[in-house]
């Protein structure tokens, strides 16, 4: 499970960074989205990987910390998803405005002289 998750995060983050370094605004926004998926998975993994953990142990049962599911990273991821969704939507509007005002989808607002 660890190796699958680690590879997933690595591939997402790697392709996200690659796309973000591209010159076209659409590549940048897709790159940012991929990167944020990678980061969200990373946050989940920081709460330790495991399945079937209880959020709250039943009354009068002795339990070790390993039996818990850490709920805090899940709350963090939820917040991060909402925020990155909202900011991506905002960025999309700005990209469209920039395309309309400058007539090109290059991030500098003008085509490089070949």
Partner 1 sequence: MSRFADHLIVAPILLPLLAGAIMLVLGGECRRNVNAAINVVTSFSLLCVSLMLIRTVDVGPAGVTGVYRLGDWPAPFAIVLVVDRLAALMVLLTSLLATAAVVFSLARWHRVGVLFHPLFQFLLMGVNGAFLTGDLFNLFVFFEVLLAASYGLALHGSGAARVTAGMHYIVINLAASLLFLIGVSLIYGIAGTLNMADLAARIPAIRTEDRALFEAGASILGIAFLVKAGMWPLCFWLPATYAVAPPPVASMFAILTKVGAYIVLRLWLLLFRPEAAASTQFGADWLLWGGIATIVFGTIGVLASQDMARLAAYSVLVSSGTVLAAIGMGQPAITGAALFYLVSSTLGLSAFFLLVELVERGREPGADMIAVTRELYGEEGDVDDSTEVGIAVPVTMGFLGMAFIGCTLIISGLPPLSGFIAKFALLAAALGSPSAAISTATWTFLVVLILAGLAAVVSLTRAGIHAFWASPERTVPRVRLIELAPVILLLLLCGVQTIQAGPVMRYMQATAQSLHVPDDYIRGVLSPVNGRIDHRKGGA
For binding to partner 1 (CB under 8 A), which residues are involved? 20, 25, 28, 32, 35-36, 39, 42-43, 46-47, 72-73, 76, 79-80, 83-84, 86-88, 90-91, 94-95, 97-98, 101-102, 107-109
CB 58, min distance to partner 1, A: 21
DSSP 1: -
* 50/109 with CB nearer partner 1: 109
Query: What HEC string does 46-113 produce?
Result: CCCCCCCCECCCCCCCCCCHHHECCHHHHHHHHHHHHHHHHHHHHHHHHHHHHHHHHCCCECCCCCCC
CB 59, min distance to partner 1, A: 19
């Amino acid at each position: 499970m660890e190796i699958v998750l680690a590879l997933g995060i690595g591939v997402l983050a790697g392709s996200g960074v690659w796309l973000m370094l591209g010159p076209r605004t659409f590549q940048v926004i897709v790159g940012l989205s991929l990167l944020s998926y990678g980061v969200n998975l990373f946050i989940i993994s920081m709460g330790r990987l495991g399945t079937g953990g209880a959020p709250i142990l039943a009354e009068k049962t002795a339990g070790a910390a390993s039996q818990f599911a850490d709920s805090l990273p899940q709350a963090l991821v939820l917040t991060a998803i909402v925020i990155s969704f909202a900011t991506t939507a905002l960025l999309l509007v700005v990209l469209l405005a920039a395309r309309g005002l400058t007539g090109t989808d290059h991030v500098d607002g003008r085509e490089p002289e070949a």
